[in-house]
Chain A
């Protein structure tokens, strides 16, 4: 697209929620950026959402409060939303639209990139296989994180997802590779305290290589639809131009989805579920699918989106559509939280789709897959027994069922639970898993082979 600054136009016809309709213009392009000058001369940014004959519908990122039909001007910038990227973004803090937020001037751009990115050709992708040790047993042992994966954390209000993310960031830094490791953090509508917690976590871990894009809860909500795209544009540059391994943490996607919904309803679009627009799936995919590895390039983008499930409902559109796009999910559970299990990861609904190709002999240990399967099967059975016991009473359980109950209890207390500073190696995690299995009769261990039992069962 051409790069020139057009003249300022008047002719606003309508202001409606975050939207602005302008008439009497020509040559507006779909997706074009605009600058909106309010009556006080302050600048806001917006984007063309719909092109009509001699008219355009524009979303204003900072909201339309204070704008008037007569005294507001709109300038079409002749370009899509672009971010100037450079290695000097590392160590800096930006707002949700990618402007410096730390009092320093913007880092000089090496190259300008469209924040919408482009789809990675499936043929050019490299299949992610490299195991990342996070030091957290419920993840490493049961839902391993793979470099280049997109693995979200599904949480609920009041659950310690931020602590988990901080823990994950702290340990996911592979030794010997810190030169090539960077974190891009994008916040959409999170509280000031939460942002502070992340800053602290970055500081404690000694990670200097962090670029932060912050749109906090009290900042304009529409800008949130830009924040993850800006963050990923920065990440793509670091990963695929500079060859770094980039861990991208984006939180909170529920706030993002709400911003998308706000715009859609303002436009009067036909809603699908819970008022969210029908294209929410494609919209989320255009963000999540930017993670991955590319053949022939040394960098990678590992994406950990965090979202809070409204009312802990995993079938709510945001977690539901996310789960359909991402390569698994880590689910936090309120019941475990109440029992005092930290981190309260419920392994049953959790999943890592890429785990199967990243574990086993040569990366973790050859018994890993079978052991994880056995622990899953046993813990699922323990859950059934627990529900049964709630009805018929523990005394009525069979001998085997009672042992499952004991297993479930111990699995939660010893395997899932761990201290915030406890960094378990993968070997320690797997050995711990085998120790849990001693609670069960050997005949029940049908997911592991006889040889594995001989070798590993204490």
Chain B
């Protein structure tokens, strides 16, 4: 036996399989076989290996690392191996002891099951057998497990059942299978779907810079790269809170303990704008904080994804937040280093890109096995060392995601949040979503184009300003700079902590965009009529535009009064100057 940190080499006498889950030592620490050579197996252990001795036994399970799926997942906080953290508190108090083995789903809790079909019909994987109201907002559909096909012999009548009790029996070609509300699925295997659909519906987030400039589609992928303190986690929290997904799976992977605590304390008290219910009722948390064992960090990402896929299969729109994928990549690197594999860039293994691709490709808008439409969106935070976006994890991730929300340290220093750099960031979904916007808000695309153009122009002018100073520019260019500033400060900048500002409806976003766009359009006309720029910059309405974000969502229509005020003030100004 050979032990180095989370990696253990043992000699096996029984047949073992790659990715088989094993238990190490009498304490039964959970591990997974990651390499086989002759009669030697290399195991990555998901718990602290301190104190393990040469010669300790290893027990095979014959099955790959899997999660339990069924009612009771929602509102729960799990560790990276899907063990409920609450059970650890019962077992060992505030600190996590190794070796805990708990059922992921409460085996005694009874759920009210309502059958949705009747015996006698032919069923196959993904079909809905019945429903359980898992939380006030999540109607849990009990599905025939994937790959099962046959005649439904028996279906339980309406009543209360535990996840372990049979609720149906299916005669397959070979034998009769008993179905419970719970089944298990290997975490590293994507769950099957009927076909993939194009991502053409926006995932509305209530975050103005995202919805308006760099939109995400339902079933899309996005990355948030940013150095420390640029607001990755706050942004992930914002998306988890306000996205119009049906279910959120939040994976805290190698990050701070207090951040998970914050979610746990806050989500029961925040209201989902869509349902009016506490956010926790549509949230599943997977927490493997930075001080918890590193190998389990690697597993936590897959655990979270599999839970998300399961709900997607019920026809829900699910969004996964992974904070941070860099810590997951570092776990890969650490294991790879201990296996003495030849490193590629910066010590990361050569298969980093493949693993990232496998991860992000599990996202998508799909037609499920039962013909419903569901989606799984993935938003991954990336923590580049030194904020350097040329590092391997950022670069490799960029190949497989279609939204790039680059966080900027300078914006963060000025407390301009979200600190998304408006020129370097992009979203490839903007085009895909065009038709949806044309159907819903025809004006959206035009306004979006205006602001994108103006921000690009602002970037070029800023370079000029750095050389000659703003005073040297002609009025028309000064106006462009000023308008860009209005967009940035009055619209793009959004506080995550102000109750009114933290979430903005589409209606309010549109009103705000119209106002700023109108201001610039009218002001440009006046500049052409030789109204001096500084008079336009002094208009009292400007300050009200700056503060329009503080108008509550329900009063969004009142923001449009500013359009008249702009007209009046500019009219008066023009008349007073007799132009």
Contact = CB atoms under 8 A, between A and B. Distances in A.
B270 interface: no
Contact of A286 (B95, B97, B291, B334): B291
A52 B88 CA distance: 32
A31 B547 CA distance: 59
A80 B343 CA distance: 32
Given A323-B229, A356-B497, A446-B543, A123 B347 contact: no
A447 B292 CA distance: 39
B208 interface: no
A122 B257 contact: yes
B51 A397 contact: no
Contact of A285 (B53, B290, B466): B290
A156 B95 CA distance: 36
A126 B261 contact: yes
B2 interface: yes
Contact of B95 (A50, A121, A277, A296): A121
A1 B51 contact: yes
Most buried by B among A124, A316, A357, A377: A124
The size bracket of the interface on A is 35 or more
B499 interface: no
16 contacts: A26-B55, A28-B53, A32-B51, A52-B54, A122-B260, A123-B86, A124-B94, A125-B260, A270-B343, A278-B347, A282-B254, A290-B291, A315-B388, A324-B228, A329-B228, A396-B468
A289 B290 contact: yes
Interface of A: 1, 26-32, 49-54, 80, 116-128, 240, 269-273, 277-279, 281-282, 285-286, 289-290, 292, 294-297, 314-317, 320-321, 323-325, 327-329, 348-349, 351, 353-354, 356-357, 369, 372-373, 376-377, 380-381, 387-388, 391-393, 396-398, 401, 443, 446-447, 449-450
Contact of A278 (B1, B261, B330): B330
A124 B89 contact: yes
Contacts of B415: 372-373, 376-377, 380, 447
B196 interface: no
A391 B467 contact: yes
B337 to A, nearest CB: 5
Contact of B96 (A118, A286, A373): A118
Interface stretch (B153-161, B469-477, B559-567): B469-477
Interface in B229-268: 229, 252, 254, 256-258, 260-262, 264-265
Interface stretch (B143-151, B379-387, B453-461): B379-387
B465 interface: yes
A320 B385 CA distance: 7
B265 A28 contact: no
Contacts of A26: 54-55
A290 B291 CA distance: 9
B89 A119 contact: no
A279 B415 CA distance: 31
Nearest to A117: B95
Interface in B296-354: 327, 330, 333-334, 337, 340, 343, 346-347
B265 A121 contact: no
B53 to A, nearest CB: 4
Closest 7 CB pairs of A and B: A315-B386, A380-B414, A285-B290, A31-B50, A124-B94, A323-B228, A392-B469
Nearest to B347: A272
B552 interface: no
B385 A317 contact: yes
Contact of A118 (B95, B257, B346, B543): B95
Contacts of B546: 446
A318 B94 CA distance: 29
B1 A121 contact: no
B172 interface: no
Given A27-B53, A282-B254, A376-B414, A122 B385 contact: no
A121 B290 contact: no
Given A1-B51, A270-B337, A120 B4 contact: no
Contacts of B489: 446
A377 B410 CA distance: 11
Nearest to A443: B543
B542 interface: yes
B433 interface: no
B551 interface: no
Most buried by B among A123, A289, A397, A447: A123
Contacts of B119: none
Given A124-B94, A289-B290, A315-B385, A388 B413 contact: no
Contacts of A271: 347
B330 A27 contact: no
Contacts of A50: 2-4
B103 interface: no
A289 B261 CA distance: 13
Nearest to B229: A351
A128 to B, nearest CB: 7
A395 to B, nearest CB: 9
Contacts of B413: 348-349, 376, 380
Given A122-B289, A380-B414, A446-B543, A388 B466 contact: yes
A320 B93 contact: no
Contacts of A49: 4
Contacts of B95: 117-121, 124
B217 interface: no
Given A278-B330, A320-B385, A29 B53 contact: yes
Given A26-B55, A329-B229, A119 B470 contact: no
A396 B469 contact: yes
A325 B256 CA distance: 6
Contacts of A273: 346, 385
Interface string B122-136: 000000000000000
Nearest to B413: A348
Given A270-B337, A281-B327, A328 B229 contact: yes
A281 B51 CA distance: 22
Contacts of A323: 227-229
Given A122-B261, A272-B333, A391 B466 contact: yes
A186 B512 CA distance: 54
B110 interface: no
B89 A123 contact: yes
A376 B1 CA distance: 57
Contacts of A447: 415
Contacts of B197: none
Given A28-B53, A297-B94, A397-B471, A120 B2 contact: no
Nearest to A114: B50
B51 A27 contact: no
B89 A30 contact: no
Contacts of B49: 30-31
B287 interface: yes
A80 B472 contact: no
Contacts of A124: 89, 93-95
Given A30-B52, A320-B385, A396 B497 contact: no
Given A119-B95, A328-B229, A446-B546, 9 more contacts: A123-B85, A273-B346, A278-B333, A278-B334, A279-B5, A286-B291, A292-B258, A349-B229, A446-B489
A295 B257 CA distance: 13
A26 B337 CA distance: 26
A278 B337 contact: yes
A269 B338 CA distance: 8
Contact of B387 (A54, A120, A122, A315): A315
Contacts of A54: 54
A46 to B, nearest CB: 15
B77 interface: yes
B400 to A, nearest CB: 22
A220 to B, nearest CB: 23
A9 to B, nearest CB: 14
Contact of B346 (A120, A272, A398): A272
A369 to B, nearest CB: 7
